[in-house]
Chain A
Amino acid sequence: MTFLEKQTDPTTPMHWTGDMQADYFYSNGVAGDRFFKHLMKKDTFLASECPECGVTFIPPRLYCEDCFCGIPDDKWVEVKAQGVIRTNTTAMIDAHNEPLEEPVVMALIEIDDTDGAMLGRIKTDMLGMDLAGLMVKAKLRPRKDREGTMKDILYFEPY
């Protein structure tokens, strides 16, 4: 089947434009709320440990996705807000594909004493380099300014 007629007049309209506006409220969840409320008061992270397989989750979870069991309150542990870079990249463009004024180093950081890792910005001059193995610690917002989101972690820096 082909269309029996095609328009060739270039002056006819070709597109209709619009947006998809909607704003979102994401509850941080039961586990997330506990993690962020802790972070608002302390300079450490909370992690949660599966009572069956012993995996320690960060960010902490209510349940183990493998054993599929709940994680009880006494299996929540406080860990230092620091870790080791597993892998990293130097970003030259932003989320809209526009060039960044200053390149940003983003890394996946294995948090000490856990089996998890977190995505974080690294404050460093070492652009375009492999930073795997570098020890970094979190720089947090001043406590009075913390709001209970990931933005409370300003960046990670080598120590």
Chain B
Amino acid sequence: MNDVAIIGGGMTVFQRRLKETGKELSYLATKMALEEAGITKKDIDMVVMGSAPDAFDGIHQKGENLLDGAAGAGKPYVRVFNGGGTGVFAPIAGWWHVASGVADIALVVCEEKMGNCYPHPQTAFRHIWDPILDRPLSPNLVWLFAMEMNRYMTKYNIKKEDIARVAVKNKRNAVGHPCAQLPDENITIEDVLNSEMMAWPVQRLDISPPSDGASALIFCSKDKVRQFTDDPVWVDGVGWNIDSTMWTNRDLSFPRYVANAARMAYKMAGIHNPRKEIDFAEPYDPFDYKELHHMEGLLLCNKGEAPILTREGVTERDGNMPMCPSGGLLGVGNPIAATMGQKICELYWQLAGKAGKRQIPTDPMVGVGQAWGDIMQMATVAVLRRG
């Protein structure tokens, strides 16, 4: 396999609704990435599009719809998609385009327009449930996460306030992000605990907002990377794994599929002790408890320990193991696939020293990003390293 570096990234602002079409958002994010890398469309060998369910945009086969804005016209182009896992799976696909040797430079673009779906993106989420067993009960997707969160809290005796700390941390971290939808430097744990009850134990401020947005990354082979930069950021390992769809037959307190994906990525990256060798992480945080769940799944702490580390400040931007320095989905927004912007672009910007106000002060060398999707079953993981 060829070594693969990242040489450019871009993203649009995230908002509940943006006037730009999905194509236009894809163009804006892609243009940023091309400019940062100092290349043009001509230099791109292949394009990967990541976008989650068609039902949000309301455009069937939307990969093809987005093609021209993603610099894909006339190129080898493919859309990859595994629900919420897409934001890290699309860059994994970009990596294998280059690692396999079929491309020297691959562009990855991720887009989502959730604001298209009425009355609410939840309406589209309805259609991911099993039509025979689940859908006749008129479920809301939040139920799933409420049930998982409850199981996690109950099994490990976790207090709601320790989960709320994650929302507070991430919304505060997002203050330094120019694209952030819900940054809030004054938010408190009480604000989260007093916010509207959606589906106990999930409250309004436990949830990331639905958003429109796009992000882009450019992957480059080792052979060509020195043309573009002296300080490449390398993709050291990737992993993905999916658990049984029979979610009512699984213990939801620990995401074993995340652990499986993480082990795959760590093995490839030669990481034997993730707690010592990984400097910071961007675990997927569509809900505050998910960051904790995923820290544990990524083997960065013991089961049930993540809330304690969070309470002790370990996961703050200036802590020993910063989590979601970007502001995460909770602070920056959750345009499903486009969260590549927080999960992988952020790793790249942090490792390249380009994260501006969000820069981790401890000079990180290795970061791990992760996304999660489908019916609480899909995990996608990537490890990035500087130098």
A touches B (Cβ under 8 A): yes
Bound-complex Cα distance A23 to B20 (A): 19
Residues of A in contact (CB 8 Å), total: 23
Bound-complex Cα distance A27 to B31 (A): 21
**Stretch from A30-38, A74-82, A91-99 contacting the other chain:** A30-38
B58 surroundings in chain A (CB, below 8 A): 22, 24, 26
A66/B74 in contact, CB under 8 A: yes
Bound-complex Cα distance A66 to B116 (A): 27
**Stretch from B127-135, B154-162, B195-203 contacting the other chain:** B127-135
A63/B55 in contact, CB under 8 A: no
B20 surroundings in chain A (CB, below 8 A): 27, 29-30
A24 surroundings in chain B (CB, below 8 A): 58, 116-118
A-B contact pairs, 17 of them (CB 8 A): A18-B135, A20-B127, A22-B117, A22-B123, A24-B116, A25-B117, A28-B21, A29-B20, A30-B19, A30-B21, A33-B19, A63-B69, A67-B41, A68-B34, A68-B40, A68-B41, A70-B31
Q: Is A65 an interface residue (CB 8 A)?
A: yes
Q: Is B372 an interface residue (CB 8 A)?
A: no
Bound-complex Cα distance A70 to B27 (A): 9
- Closest chain-B Cβ to A61's Cβ sits at a distance in Å of 8
Bound-complex Cα distance A16 to B133 (A): 10
- Closest chain-A Cβ to B324's Cβ sits at a distance in Å of 29
Q: When A and B form their complex, which 7 residue pairs have the shortest distance between CB atoms, in order from nearest?
A: A29-B21, A24-B58, A65-B68, A68-B41, A23-B118, A22-B123, A65-B73
- Closest chain-B Cβ to A129's Cβ sits at a distance in Å of 31
Q: Which residues of A contact B (CB under 8 A)?
A: 16, 18, 20-33, 62-63, 65-68, 70
Q: Known interface pairs A16-B131, A18-B131, A27-B18. Does A62 touch B119 (Cβ–Cβ under 8 Å)? A: no
A63 surroundings in chain B (CB, below 8 A): 24, 27, 31, 69
Q: Which residues of B contact A (CB under 8 A)?
A: 17-21, 23-24, 27, 30-31, 34, 40-41, 55, 58, 68-69, 71, 73-74, 115-119, 123-124, 126-127, 131-132, 135
- Closest chain-A Cβ to B33's Cβ sits at a distance in Å of 11
- Closest chain-A Cβ to B238's Cβ sits at a distance in Å of 28
A29 surroundings in chain B (CB, below 8 A): 19-21, 23-24
B132/A16 in contact, CB under 8 A: yes
- Closest chain-A Cβ to B116's Cβ sits at a distance in Å of 5
Q: Tell which of B24, B73, B117 touches A62, judged by Cβ atoms closer than 8 Å.
A: B24
Residue picked from A22, A24, A27, most chain B C-beta under 10 Å? A22
B74 surroundings in chain A (CB, below 8 A): 66
B55 surroundings in chain A (CB, below 8 A): 20, 22
Bound-complex Cα distance A22 to B56 (A): 9
B17 surroundings in chain A (CB, below 8 A): 27
Bound-complex Cα distance A23 to B121 (A): 10
- Closest chain-B Cβ to A13's Cβ sits at a distance in Å of 10
A32/B127 in contact, CB under 8 A: no
Q: Known interface pairs A16-B132, A65-B73, A70-B31. Does A25 touch B24 (Cβ–Cβ under 8 Å)? A: no
- Closest chain-A Cβ to B304's Cβ sits at a distance in Å of 38
B73/A22 in contact, CB under 8 A: no
A30 surroundings in chain B (CB, below 8 A): 19-21, 24
- Closest chain-A Cβ to B253's Cβ sits at a distance in Å of 31
* Chain A minimum-CB-distance residue to B212: A27
Bound-complex Cα distance A70 to B132 (A): 48
A20 surroundings in chain B (CB, below 8 A): 55, 127
Bound-complex Cα distance A24 to B55 (A): 9
Q: Known interface pairs A65-B69, A68-B34. Does A22 touch B19 (Cβ–Cβ under 8 Å)? A: no
